[in-house]
Structure 1
Amino acid sequence: MRNHSGIGVKTLELRPISISSHNLNSWLQVAVKPGIEKLTLRVCHFKKYKFPLSLLSDGVRSYLRIFGCGRLKLIESKAPNLSTLDFWGKPKLVFGEALQMKTLSMFDSDVVCYARTELPSIMPNLDILHLCSTYEVVDTPMLPTRFLYLKHLTINLISGPWPYDYFSLVSFLDVSPSLETLSLDVSKKPMEDEFVFGHSPHLRHMAEDQHCHLKNVKITGFSSAKSLMELTCYILKNAVSLECLTLDTSYGCASRCSDSEFGRCGSFGNGLREACRSLWAIKNIH
């Protein structure tokens, strides 16, 4: 390792099993050469680990992905050029400088509320935000803090023990004046008491606030759930530059046409019924 110049090696993966953090960093000092573009560390037994920042040259962006650490409590970074962060959990984030942070992906429960509450002050210059929530217990709060430069927002809501107020996502829209694309994937099918049917729906309204840059919106798992209808109506009324609105009534990958050898679309009928029900609700909106 010491005699290897690193020329031609672009990817390095280490899986230390029975090694101390000090010895691991000694290995890294030897193994990480200037030509390496991707470094993967699979550390499972450390309670606390400090990555040697000196290994990163001035020009390195230091993209960081942390996966499988559900009990992670703290991420502290002093890497000034870190621009992309991808992690699982809701740890406390301590960044000396996060002005270069442009892309963030989070996966855990209640990350939508967490992101709306914590991120604007920590990462003010985010451009791309991807949130994947296993369930949301708290609706998205209305707060004055803003995402001034956020252009692309993706939210995946996988499941949940009780109804979620999708209309509360307006909070993200109102504080993201530069937002261009919104993708909402509702993998959880709403409960029956969330649907709008059998009567003309009376929907909630908020003060109109024109969104001049929002051009593309896609809602996967769309249904006649009242809060989804309210969110969609808000977008139609306020996104003055909207070019494309896609409402997909299928729920998750299982409800789409299969690419298997049988070529069956198992729950296509359910999606079609929901599409008809949603269309009826849209026509009868007050």
Structure 2
Amino acid sequence: MGVLALGRLISVQRERRRQRQRRRRTQARDDPVPLLAKRGRSSWQQDDRSEGRKRVKYSGPDIPQKIWRHIISLVPMQDAARAACVSHAFLRCWRFYPNIGFSNLTVGCNGVLTKAETSRKFASKVNQVLKNHSGIGLKTIKLEFLGHNSSDCSSLNSWLRVAITSELEELSLMLSSEVATYRFPCSLLSGLRGNSIRYVHLSGCVFRPVVRLSCFKSLMNLRLYHVRISEDELGCLLSSCSALELFSFGYCNEITCLKIPDMLQRLNDLQVVGCNALRVVESKALNLSSFYFGGKRGQISHGEQLKNLTMPHPRALDNAHAMLPTTMPNLETLDISLRLKTDTPMMHSQFLRIKYLRITVDVYSFPHINDYISLVPFLDASPCLESFYLQVAEPMEHDSIFRDPSPLRRMPGHRHDKLKSVKIIGFNSAKSLIELTVHIIENAGSLESLTLDTADCSLGCSDSETERCSTLGQSTLMEVPRALFAIRRYVEGIVPSTVKLDVLEPCARCCNAS
């Protein structure tokens, strides 16, 4: 509902009031005293005019203020703020508006302004809006002050002082991550009564909690990025969040050892990314089921209950091949990135529960070559695997099967009887990739679907004539015909009739756009 809809509602109400006024005037001529006696005091008043007539005037809306506040709360913040400028009734509702968010976009700070001008305009706009807000009823506050130093804005403390109340549920403060200089006023939280806060997102600031925060007892979602905080302070913070369900932590370079205490029994999702100094991640949370680790390498210690693991950095598994099966025996979903070599360590058959495996192969620099057939041990170590998703690197000229006439390698004795779906994104004519595909076809007796996507067409191609397709690199465009020829020559003839083979290639518009 926008301002126009509110305007139509007000017009309808005015017309209804006019009709009621006409009826009351008619009744007042016949018997004005009983009418006034019946009504008593109300928002309708009568006054005498020079000609002896009595005119009824309306002093306010006849809709309860609580309903008006609810209606205004459904309006986007910009429209609600504009409405408050033209109506006292709307202004009174704005004082209790529940969800407030500010960013360079919402306050109209475009890229033409300098950093200093942007800071001044941002502060002026926010001050102008918040000065009319009582702080009562505020549920969500989001301050996205990016693109300039947080020290340029001297009003952050006063804004947070208005926003952080016992009714607040969501708090987001995102500052420029270039230099984290703003010190978050923890005293506003430590002295806060109540436990209504459910979501906290802090970015680009200094956060130094030295005592447990009782207001975080109901906190379920905590996100810290580019935050300067020590290990002891982080431990103090986490000990205050007994209801925490998701903890996302990134680019905090003061932390070398991340310890998740066992008191976080509701924590089920842990995300760690970009912490270069981090060496150890140790979790004692009993119900942690999903872990995203975006670091290069580190010692990972989790309970046996972990079911979903994502490790996108290609070096994260350099020393983890033997560790993963023993420390995480209940994994069901594994999403990893790695580089393949002919001497890739063999995997022990201990991924007994993995059903979904996604591998993204990182690009090697010449003269190294990714050897895709070395992925067979991963498949063999997962006897319950049902879905296999492979994102391959760009091919190298000397890696093509058309430049190596030697017979295809076979790896007999490896069966993948529960594998049903295989998708290879960026399929090319690399000989080892052809060998892997042939191996899967010959050894996956339950295979139902095989998708070979030559250029990530599922994301690049558009079904609409008005939308543009993604631009493809020259090397990809040159490789697609070779990949299609390799599929026809080595793959299509050995695919069983029970397997659905989908071969995806760029459309004509993709090629023209490139």
CA 1:151–1:32 in 2, change beyond 3 Å: closer, same or farther? same
AA at the equivalent of 2:490: I
Q: Distance in 2 between matches of 1:132 and 1:74?
A: 20
Question: Which secondary structure state, in structure 2, belongs to the residue aligned with residue 218 of structure 1?
Answer: strand
Deviation at 1:233, TM superposition (A): 1.1
Question: Which secondary structure state, in structure 2, belongs to the residue aligned with residue 51 of structure 1?
Answer: helix
CA 1:129–1:155 in 2, change beyond 3 Å: closer, same or farther? same
- Report if the CA contact (8 A) 1:182-1:216 is conserved: yes
Residue equivalent to 1:94: 301
Residue equivalent to 1:222: 427
Residue equivalent to 1:282: 490
Equivalences, count: 275
AA at the equivalent of 1:235: I
Deviation at 1:4, TM superposition (A): 4.0
Question: Which secondary structure state, in structure 2, belongs to the residue aligned with residue 183 of structure 1?
Answer: strand
Q: Show CA shifts across 1:47-76 (max 9, x none).
A: 645534543246513411112213321112
Please state if 1:37 is matched with 2:241.
Answer: no
Q: Distance in 1 between matches of 2:421 and 2:361?
A: 19
Please state if 1:18 is matched with 2:225.
Answer: no
Map of 1:4-83 to 2, 5 A cutoff?
A: 4-7=193-196, 9-15=197-203, 17-19=205-207, 23-24=208-209, 26=211, 29-34=213-218, 36-46=219-229, 48=231, 50-52=234-236, 54=239, 55-57=241-243, 59-83=265-289
Map of 1:125-274 to 2, 5 A cutoff?
A: 125-133=330-338, 135=339, 139-161=343-365, 162-186=368-392, 188-197=393-402, 201-250=406-455, 256-257=460-461, 263-264=468-469, 266-267=471-472, 269-270=477-478, 272-274=480-482
Please state if 1:123 is matched with 2:332.
Answer: no
- Report if the CA contact (8 A) 2:428-2:480 is conserved: no
TM-score normalised by L of structure 2:
0.48
Question: Which secondary structure state, in structure 1, belongs to the residue aligned with residue 322 of structure 2?
Answer: helix
Identity of aligned residues (%): 33
Deviation at 1:158, TM superposition (A): 3.5
Question: Which secondary structure state, in structure 2, belongs to the residue aligned with residue 24 of structure 1?
Answer: coil
Question: Which secondary structure state, in structure 2, belongs to the residue aligned with residue 116 of structure 1?
Answer: coil
Runs of 5+ unmatched residues, structure 1: none
CA 1:218–1:113 in 2, change beyond 3 Å: closer, same or farther? farther
AA at the equivalent of 1:129: L
- Report if the CA contact (8 A) 2:419-2:446 is conserved: yes
CA 1:281–1:224 in 2, change beyond 3 Å: closer, same or farther? farther
Identify the range of structure 1 (108-117 vs 124-133) with the bigger mean alpha-carbon deviation: 108-117
Which of 79, 84, 102 is residue 290 of structure 2 equivalent to?
84
AA at the equivalent of 1:5: G
Q: Distance in 1 between matches of 2:492 and 2:202?
A: 59
CA 1:138–1:230 in 2, change beyond 3 Å: closer, same or farther? closer
CA 1:199–1:166 in 2, change beyond 3 Å: closer, same or farther? closer
Higher Rg of the two aligned structures: 2
Q: Show CA shifts across 1:13-45 (max 9, x none).
A: 2347334xxx4253x6234222x3211122544
CA 1:277–1:123 in 2, change beyond 3 Å: closer, same or farther? same
Question: Which secondary structure state, in structure 1, belongs to the residue aligned with residue 442 of structure 2?
Answer: helix
AA at the equivalent of 2:377: S
Deviation at 1:201, TM superposition (A): 5.0
Higher relative CO (CA 8 A, sep ≥ 6), structure 1 or 2?
1
Q: Show CA shifts across 1:76-122 (max 9, x none).
A: 22212211111212211133xx1110111112123455453321111
- Report if the CA contact (8 A) 1:151-1:180 is conserved: yes
CA 1:94–1:269 in 2, change beyond 3 Å: closer, same or farther? closer
CA 1:33–1:243 in 2, change beyond 3 Å: closer, same or farther? same
Q: Show CA shifts across 1:164-198 (max 9, x none).
A: 11111111111101111010001x21211111116
Residue equivalent to 2:156: none
Deviation at 1:127, TM superposition (A): 0.7
CA 1:221–1:12 in 2, change beyond 3 Å: closer, same or farther? same
